[in-house]
């Protein structure tokens, strides 16, 4: 019998099972999110011109550079390869108004990375969605800059549909719902075209990068609330589609609320989180000071995420007392 060619046993790896693993990694998740945001970004640039492209590029570059600088400073491993900094920058750019000056964009991106992410220890540890933390800081610091919107293509100063609705509820009649959905109304760079956002979101759900629970529950929360209000008084309250397509609801439901780090881990927790975030969005829209409550609602729910994590399923075989 021939002997086995001697195997170098010192190179054999000994570790715990399982010895094979699935293909999904953090890099692939973040890469998938970036890819899913391409349609939204392209529409934003098409509608608002090259300034929007500059804002996007500047936000992504600043986020990546600030993260790398902090990591060099604190002698930690560079994490640019996990793509999370780029994703943070891109998401921030997409919720900025198209008129955002360069310094606003850079301050925002740096705030998102420093205050939103790195002070807590980086990816996996922060309690609040980093782009939204930056958005709140900018909104409080430069309120008028953060609410100066322009009409698509023409560049003329206008109010967003939700701002107009806050001024005078009857104004919602002035908007065609399809315009809202197809990118013909004013809004943030990535918030104008619902269709592009939905395409990206469906891609994420089909590829398994985000789970369906939070987006579905979020939209359900907004839809149910808006539907009930509409039933109470159809003259005063806009149709459900106006609330779904207007403002940040779609971007929030599909990209911001399901952000893994700041959302619950259990399916029940995710459903409750999404539903309450949707309802809170509507409450803020109806009675809040900000025309679009989506981002505040998500941040508030982020704070409640540890509570939702108590909604764990009953452990198998637990003796019923």
Partner 1 sequence: MGIVLRGITLPKKYSAPLELIEITPPTHVVLPLIQHLGEPAAPTVTVGQKVKSGQLIAAAPTDRSVPLHSPLTGTVTAITTTFSSRGQDTEAVVIEGKQIKPKTKPLPAPSTLSPAELTVAFREAGLLSPGPFPAPLIREILGPEQSGSRLSLSGTRLVKRTDTLLVSALDPEPCLGVNRYLAGIVSEALAVGIAALKTISGAERVVIVTDANLPLPAALRAIAAADEEETTRIIRLNGRRYPTGLPIPLIKAALGREVPLPYGRPRDVGVALCTVSAAVSLGETLLTGAPPLTTLLTVGGAALSRSGIVEIPLGTTIEDLVDALGGFTREPSKLIIGGPLTGFAHYDPSVPLGKDAGGLFALTEEELTPVGAYRECINCGRCVAVCPVNLVPGMLSMYCAKDRFEEAAAQGLFSCIECGCCDYVCPSRRPLVHFFRHAKHQLMEAES
Give just the sign of the alpha carbon dihedral 108, 109, 110, 114. Answer: positive
Q: How far is CA 272 from the centre of its chain?
A: 18
Choice between 202 and 261, CB closer to partner 1: 261
Choice between 57 and 304, CB closer to partner 1: 304
**Rounded-to-integer distance, Cα 58 and Cα 80, Å:** 16
Query: How wide is the angle at C-alpha 121 spanned by C-alphas 277 and 146, nearest 5°?
Result: 50
User: Contact letters (x/-) for partner 1, 297-316, by CB under 8 A?
Assistant: ------------x--xxxxx
Among 51, 147, 148, 266, binds partner 1 (CB under 8 A): 266
Q: Residue 8 gets which letter from DSSP?
A: -
Choice between 15 and 289, CB closer to partner 1: 15
Binding flag, residue 24, partner 1 (CB under 8 A): yes
Applying CB under 8 A, the span of 25-33, 56-64, 93-101, 241-249 interacting with partner 1 comes to: 25-33
Least Å distance, CB 267 to partner 1, is 7
Nearest to 260 by CA among 123, 63, 131, 85: 123
Choice between 106 and 256, CB closer to partner 1: 256
Binding flag, residue 5, partner 1 (CB under 8 A): yes
What are the φ and ψ backbone dihedral angles of 94, each rounded to 5 degrees?
Answer: -70, -20
User: Contact letters (x/-) for partner 1, 213-252, by CB under 8 A?
Assistant: ----------------------------------------
What are the φ and ψ backbone dihedral angles of 19, each rounded to 5 degrees?
Answer: -95, -10
Q: Residue 267 gets which letter from DSSP?
A: H
DSSP assignment of 203-236 equals HHHHTTSS-SHHHHHHHHHHHHHHHHHHHH-TTT
Choice between 216 and 286, CB closer to partner 1: 216
The radius of gyration of the chain from alpha carbons, rounded to an integer in Å, stands at 22
Applying CB under 8 A, the span of 40-48, 101-109, 119-127, 157-165 interacting with partner 1 comes to: 119-127
User: Contact letters (x/-) for partner 1, 121-160, by CB under 8 A?
Assistant: xxxxx-----------------------------------
Query: How wide is the angle at C-alpha 292 spanned by C-alphas 290 and 298, nearest 5°?
Result: 100
Residues 186-215 that bind partner 1 (CB under 8 A): 211
Element (H or E) spanning 149, and its range? strand 149-150
**Rounded-to-integer distance, Cα 145 and Cα 138, Å:** 9
Least Å distance, CB 210 to partner 1, is 9
Choice between 5 and 154, CB closer to partner 1: 5
Give just the sign of the alpha carbon dihedral 178, 180, 186, 190. Answer: negative
Binding flag, residue 88, partner 1 (CB under 8 A): no
Choice between 168 and 319, CB closer to partner 1: 319
Give just the sign of the alpha carbon dihedral 241, 245, 247, 248. Answer: positive
Q: At what angle do helices 38-48 and 84-95 cross, to 10 degrees?
A: 40
Binding flag, residue 261, partner 1 (CB under 8 A): yes
Binding flag, residue 9, partner 1 (CB under 8 A): yes
Which residues of the shown chain bind partner 1 in the complex (CB under 8 A)?
A: 1-5, 7-9, 11-22, 24-26, 28-29, 82, 121-125, 211, 260-267, 270, 309, 312-319
């Amino acid at each position: 019998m021939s002997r086995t060619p001697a195997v170098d046993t010192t190179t054999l790896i000994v570790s715990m099972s399982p010895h094979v693993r699935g293909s999904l990694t953090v890099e692939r998740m973040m890469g998938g999110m970036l890819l899913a945001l391409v349609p939204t970004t392209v529409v934003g640039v098409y509608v608002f011109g090259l300034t929007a492209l500059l804002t996007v590029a500047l936000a992504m570059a600043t986020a990546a550079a600030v993260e790398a600088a902090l990591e060099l400073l604190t002698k930690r491993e560079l994490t640019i390869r996990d793509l999370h900094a780029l994703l943070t920058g891109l998401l921030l750019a997409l919720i900025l108004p198209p008129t955002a000056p360069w310094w606003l964009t850079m301050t925002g991106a740096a705030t998102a990375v420093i205050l939103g992410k790195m002070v807590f220890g980086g990816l996996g540890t922060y309690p609040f969605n980093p782009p939204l933390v930056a958005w709140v800081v900018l909104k409080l610091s430069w309120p008028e800059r953060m609410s100066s919107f322009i009409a698509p293509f023409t560049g003329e100063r206008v109010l967003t549909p939700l701002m107009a609705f806050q001024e005078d509820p009857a104004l919602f009649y002035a908007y065609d719902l399809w315009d809202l959905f197809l990118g013909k109304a004013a809004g943030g760079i990535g918030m104008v075209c619902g269709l592009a956002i939905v395409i990206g979101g469906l891609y994420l759900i089909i590829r398994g990068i985000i789970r369906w629970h939070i987006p579905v529950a979020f939209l359900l929360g907004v839809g149910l609330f808006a539907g009930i209000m509409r039933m109470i008084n159809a003259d005063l309250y806009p149709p459900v589609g106006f609330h779904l397509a207007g403002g940040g609801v779609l971007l929030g439901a599909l990209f911001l609320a399901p952000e893994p780090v700041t959302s619950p881990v259990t399916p029940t927790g995710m459903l409750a989180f999404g539903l309450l975030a949707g309802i809170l969005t509507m409450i803020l829209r109806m009675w809040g000071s900000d025309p679009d409550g989506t981002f505040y609602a998500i941040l508030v729910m982020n704070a409640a995420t540890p509570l939702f994590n108590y909604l764990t399923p009953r452990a198998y075989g637990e003796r019923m007392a």
